[in-house]
Amino acid sequence: MKLYLVSLGVGVLVGIIYGGLGVRSPAPPAVALIGLLGMLIGEQVVPPVKRLLAGEPVNLVWFHRECIPKITGLPAPVAQAAKVDAETDSRKA
């Protein structure tokens, strides 16, 4: 239930922003889908920034494993990611 209330709250907030910008809501389907894509991409800006601030590396393997599945909805290549992590760890040792 909490997820639905949060979703409703965010929807209200976005509606207020739309109203302030003078954008019609709901937007035409193509515009709405582009907006949703932008939201998905925008959400993936935060994890790399947090990682960089923590002093951890951000590389393509990590990005493909952590961010791309959240944007595309496709499952992460777990086995391949585990293999790359193991190789990386063995090089550090």
pLDDT of residue 27: 62
Contacts of 64 (CB under 8 A, 6+ apart): 76, 77, 81
pLDDT of residue 5: 86
Higher pLDDT, 89 or 47: 47
pLDDT of residue 10: 85
pLDDT tens readout for residues 39-68: 888 888 888 899 999 999 888 888 888 888
Residue 79 pLDDT > 90, yes or no? Answer: no
Q: Does the model's pTM come out above 0.85?
A: no
pLDDT tens readout for residues 16-39: 888 888 877 666 677 777 888 888
Contacts of 43 (CB under 8 A, 6+ apart): 70
